[in-house]
Structure 1
Amino acid sequence: MTFDQRLLLVHAHPDDESIGQGATMAKYAAEGRGVTLVTCTAGEMGEILVPELEHLAADRDDLLGEHRKEELAAAMKELGVSDHRFLGGFGTYRDSGMAWHEDGHAIGDPEVIAKHPNAFWNADLTEAADHLVAVIREVRPQVLVTYDQFGGYGHPDHIQAHRVATYAASLAAVPSYRKDLGEAWDIAKIYWGAMSESRMRAGLRALRDAGDTTTFEGMDPDGPLPHFVSADEDLAAVVDATDHVERKLAAMRAHATQITTDGPFFALSNNVGAVAWGLEFFRIAKGQPGELGEDGLETDLFAGLSTGR
């Protein structure tokens, strides 16, 4: 099937896509726009929240990646997305693991990175980018969505996904580069997923007013916020997909080993409503903004682009 408008998302692990842009993905898929997801690892080092599946952990049977592959497929079915792939094919790159820095952001797990040569953090940048170049030239998306340079909160795989996506987008546009990977294609607009500071503060305030002091524990509605929160002045676009929130939440539920229904994401949704997860924000990294809405933000990632480009 050929779509006039095509969106490519590059994420690090299964579940990142549903949390970050699940509503946008569902909205665009429902509107008949092309949506392609590339996931860079299978999330083999993820925490397991289902007790009866703890044997899948990396230090036991090491089969979590296989299980999360099925969770991802179920989540994509909920979102209506049929084109989802693993970078280089399933198992090419492994979750690099993470630890927490004393400053509150994620860092790589040196033991995992040293033990597994195919940990995504160890990936040769050009080799990994070439896998994505082939996808870009095949799909020919007008819009790419990935993380910012810090990967939102410092996870090494998120940072690597940003690097790979950025480099691949550049290489894919060069007519003389790797002609065997397809005809050159220049992605018109690139966005970094973001979270609005004002929305995050409002959500936290609603939680605290409702007596919830444990969800996003330690975050003060009026205090410093984590690295993944962006100042509103840095935002370029917001996609209102509140009509598709239930599909996003269903996709999040499909990632059962990683997301629990009594966890912070669902607590926020229960206390703030559909707007908590139905409005998804973006920073623009390449291209010119199109028509702006009343709040000065684009309301469509394809704004300003001619169809079929």
Structure 2
Amino acid sequence: MPLPRRMVLVHAHPDDETITCGGLMALAVEAGVGVTLVTCTLGELGEVIPPELKSLEGAAELAGHRAGELERACAALGVTDHRLLGGRGRWHDSGMVATGDGIRAAAPADLGDGAFSRRADVDLQVAQLVEVLTEVEPDVVVSYDAAGGYGHPDHVRAHEIAGGAVERVDPLGERVGLWATAAAHDEVAAGLGALRRRAWLPLPVPPVEDLPTVPDAAVTARVALGPARVRKLAALRAHATQIRVFDDGHEPPAFALSNDLAQPVLRAECFVLLRGPVDATGTLEALSA
């Protein structure tokens, strides 16, 4: 299959891009594919992990700090075309509330003006993304599934506007493949099992049922990262307010968010084709190392 020509990735907050498809972006850049990253908010309401940076949590300075982390992550991945949807400060993190399992998220009861997931703003956000797609003319657009992966309202909204914008620029689905990031159940389960056998890991490892996965058979494209995983790990480390990375040279490396649950950094990233031409299914796998 031919390589994609240009791709646009639509993500809710800094760090989402690296966790879900940092390897894909690194491979695409290396292959000469045009990569445009659209970040919808600066994650102003994100929880801060390192004690020495804890004073940033809830502070106005967090947005600028996370913008710097995102810049360093993009540098690690080789991404040079990065945009903030509508311009810096136009949309801000909606926040979230944890559900009973502590893994998945839901929207808070009250959303302030400018919160990315406010229902009243969706048409404007679609129009802003249409401007980017019209300029870039991608044949690949990547975002989330309808559940936003784990339910965060900003991820759900990113899925909505990515789908809405693609339908505007390619009404018949003949030119643009719309993809959702995914985690293949059996591959994640194997990675979690490997982490449980590593006694030095200082964090608990969740059961696979607690993580948002899809059946392996539902995966449309599996992109082997090869050496690009090193760049993904560097980008994960760049997001130090949000992510801890554990890598002692054994397989697999691990990362943890503010919930202090260890997850594997797998050798491949998976995607599900939501919409597009019938020959789109091989375009991402063509990037595999």
The TM-score bracket by the shorter chain reads: 0.7 to 0.9
In structure 2, the residue matched to 1:272 is 252
Change in Cα spacing, 1:215 to 1:200, as seen in structure 2 (3 Å) is: farther
Pair 1:301 & 2:272 matched: no
Whether the 8 Å CA contact 2:222–2:285 is kept in 1: the answer is no
What TM-score, normalized by structure 2, do the two folds share? 0.86
Match of 2:228 in 1: 244
2:187 corresponds, among 181, 199, 217, to: 199
2:117 to 98, 118, 121: 121
2:90 is equivalent to residue 92 of structure 1:
yes
- List per-residue Cα deviations over 1:231-278 (Å, max 9, x = no partner): 01101001112211111110111111111224xxx58x8432599433
Other structure's SS at 1:47 match: coil
1:148 paired with 2:128, answer no
Amino acid across the alignment from 1:83: D
Note closer, same or farther for the CA distance 1:253–1:213 as it changes in structure 2 (3 Å cut). Answer: closer
Return the TM-score normalized by structure 1: 0.81
2-structure distance, mates of 1:273, 1:52: 24
Q: In structure 2, what is the equivalent of residue 78 of structure 1? A: 76
Name the structure 2 match of 1:57: 57
Q: Distance in 2 between matches of 1:51 and 1:273?
A: 23
Paired residues of 1:236 and 1:289 also in contact (CA < 8 A): no
1:144–1:187 Cα contact (<8 Å) kept: no
Structure 1: unaligned runs, 5 residues or longer: 176-184, 292-297, 304-309
Percent identity (aligned): 39
SS at match of 1:102: coil
Would you say the 8 A contact 1:8–1:35 is kept in 2? yes
Q: How many Å separate the matches in 2 of 1:56 and 1:64?
A: 5
RMSD of the TM alignment (CA)?
Answer: 2.6
Cα distance in 1 for residues equivalent to 2:91 and 2:271: 27
Q: Distance in 1 between matches of 2:18 and 2:32?
A: 19
Match runs of 1:29-44 below 5 Å: 29-44=29-44
The aligned length equals 273
User: How big is the shift at 1:285?
Assistant: 0.5
Give the whole-Å Cα distance in 1 for the aligned partners of 2:7 and 2:285.
9
Q: Which residue of structure 2 aligns with residue 27 of structure 1?
A: 27
Change in 2 beyond 3 A, CA 1:126/1:100:
same
CA drift at 1:190? 1.0
> Considering only CA atoms, is the larger Rg found in Structure 1 or Structure 2?
1
SS of the residue 2:135 aligns to: helix
CA drift of 1:163 comes to: 0.5
Paired AA for residue 14 in structure 1: P
Q: How does 1:150-165 map to 2 (within 5 A)?
A: 150-165=147-162
1:134 aligns with 2:131: yes
Residue 51 of structure 1 deviates from its aligned partner by: 2.3
Secondary structure in 1 matching 2:178: strand
**Mean CA deviation greater in 158-167 or 123-132:** 123-132
Partner of 1:281 in structure 2? 270
Unaligned ranges ≥5, structure 2: 255-263
Aligned 8 A contact 1:24 1:239 in 2: yes
Supply the AA of the counterpart residue of 2:106. I
2-structure distance, mates of 1:43, 1:25: 21
C-alpha displacement at 1:219, in angstroms?
1.1
Aligned to 1:19, the other structure's residue is in SS state: helix
8 Å CA contact retained: 1:36, 1:84: yes
Instruction: Report if aligned partners of 1:240, 1:299 keep a CA contact under 8 Å in 2.
Output: no
Per the alignment, do residues 56 and 186 of structure 1 end up closer, same or farther by CA in structure 2, a change over 3 Å counting? farther
For residues 74 and 189 of structure 2, what CA distance do their matches in structure 1 show?
30
- Distance between the aligned counterparts of 1:299 and 1:273, measured in 2? 28
